[in-house]
Structure 1
């Protein structure tokens, strides 16, 4: 009598799908607690203007499009940009082309624009 070799794979797949489902339900139920823990560890992005680190924000949100050294990639290069600080703030606040708006909190636009301009 031959055994069907696909049965173990189906059982493993069913177990994996069930595990993913139960872990995601646990995550939905604990999202407030996890957000509080993340903020307590210093991962909250709602920093006061005095605590804002533009380079840290850029490392988290900008390098995907502008490249690790901000020399361009999918997005334009930030190093040596011809835009003024006011134009940079406008792009950060409202987006432009493929760049989405609101990546930088409004209270930190000045600091971020000054940092981008300092990349020259």
Structure 2
């Protein structure tokens, strides 16, 4: 039982650390430019892979075929599954830039 609790705590810590936790100094630098690919690289690639093929998080190679930019932005804002909400610290320009860029992946 103790091992399961320890694994849960460790796993949760990993998700928060790997996915940026919603706004460290790297996040601020990336979001100031609102460059979709750069913001993704600095905040999302640790879970979704630099090549969009997935890892801890799902593949996003063809996410634009499933979701439009507005839907993707809502996922970024609200989280989904193991992805925490406000992964970009509520920076609307960064959210829009990443959502637009990802919506083109079909």
Are 1:107 and 2:89 matched, yes or no?
Answer: no
Once the two structures are TM-superposed, the CA of residue 72 in structure 1 deviates from its matched residue by: 1.3
Deviations 1:58-117 (A, max 9, x none): 111111111120011111111111122221011101111111111231233222111011
* 1:44 aligned residue: 29
* 2:58 aligned residue: 76
CA distance in 1 between partners of 2:96 and 2:49 (Å): 22
Change (3 A) 1:54 1:46: closer
* 1:66 aligned residue: 48
CA distance in 1 between partners of 2:96 and 2:72 (Å): 9
Root-mean-square deviation (CA, aligned residues, Å) is 2.2
Secondary structure of the 1:44 match is: helix
- Alignment length, in residue pairs? 77
Structure 1, gaps ≥5 residues long? 1-37
CA distance in 1 between partners of 2:43 and 2:30 (Å): 11
Change (3 A) 1:74 1:99: same
Of residues 18, 36, 42, the one that matches 1:54 is 36
Once the two structures are TM-superposed, the CA of residue 46 in structure 1 deviates from its matched residue by: 4.9
Are 1:94 and 2:78 matched, yes or no?
Answer: yes
Structure 2, gaps ≥5 residues long? 1-24
